[in-house]
Amino acid sequence: MRLRFTTIAAALIALGAAWLAGPPSFALSTNPFTVADLVRQADQIVSGTVTAVSEGTDGRGLPYTQVELKVAESIRGNARGTMTFRQFGLQTPRAAVNGRKFIGVVAGMPRYAKDQQVLLFLSRTSTIGFRTTLGLEQGRFELRGGNVHNGANNAGLFRGVDLSGRTLSSKEKFLAATDQGALNADTFLALVRRAVNESWFTPTTIDPTKRIAKPARKLDRAIVQ
């Protein structure tokens, strides 16, 4: 029972930066993250190529997927060269050594493969060393065939986003009018780059441990006990 509670507690904290760092509407509903939400709340925004993906359990027995990324561009943050991060959970189910069923896979978590070209809107690293993309698959975009798309098929990315007063190219206007489906990668990257550099959307810094202060402290204790 203790192991089960510890794993659940770790999952809540590890995913907190992605789910709870957003407004309550995103933490508690299935409303899609817009490009404004992603730009506003991301701790780091990087594009690059996945060079390695590994899975395992750390010294506390917590399952993780480790992603190594060769950074092509750091749109927000100072990532250079190769960066590595761990997200909670495995990509491949496993059986526990004691014979009990142990899956280790968290539904909805972003999946990575070597040689993928990606654009990531990353949360901050959690108190126990895990991080993932905002909105999970919504904040992980794959660049393929000149297009970019996330796990939600880009649904709602520009829904309700106010771009009035911004000087947009014809390609950017077409992008902003797309409700779902593949988007031109170069145009999308350029728009995100402008949004960051010109401060279109005021960045929001939210500490998920403060949002759920009392539960977080209890969960932290459960992990170290």
**Residue boundaries of the structural domains of the chain:** 2-200
Q: How high is the pLDDT of residue 97?
A: 65
Residue linked to tokens 């493969």? 113
Is the confidence at residue 145, as pLDDT, over 70? yes
Q: What is the mean pLDDT of the chain?
A: 78
Please say whether the beta carbons of 39 and 192 come within 8 A: yes
What is the pTM for the complete model shown?
Answer: 0.76
- Mean pLDDT, rounded, for 159-180: 91
DSSP state of 151: T
Contacts of the segment 212-219: beta carbons below 8 A, 24+ positions apart: 212/16, 212/20, 215/12, 216/13, 216/16, 216/127, 219/9, 219/10, 219/12, 219/13
**153 contacts 32 by C-beta, under 8 angstroms:** no
40-67: pLDDT as tens digits: 999 999 999 999 999 988 888 888 999 9
Average pLDDT rounded to a whole number, residues 71-85: 93
Confidence band for 92, pLDDT divided at 50, 70 and 90 = confident
Does the pLDDT value for residue 4 go beyond 60? no
pLDDT given for residue 164 in this prediction: 87
Query: Looking at residues 165-178, what average pLDDT do you find?
Result: 92
Query: What is residue 19's predicted lDDT score, i.e. its pLDDT?
Result: 42
Tokens of 96: 């526990």
pLDDT of residue 106: 75
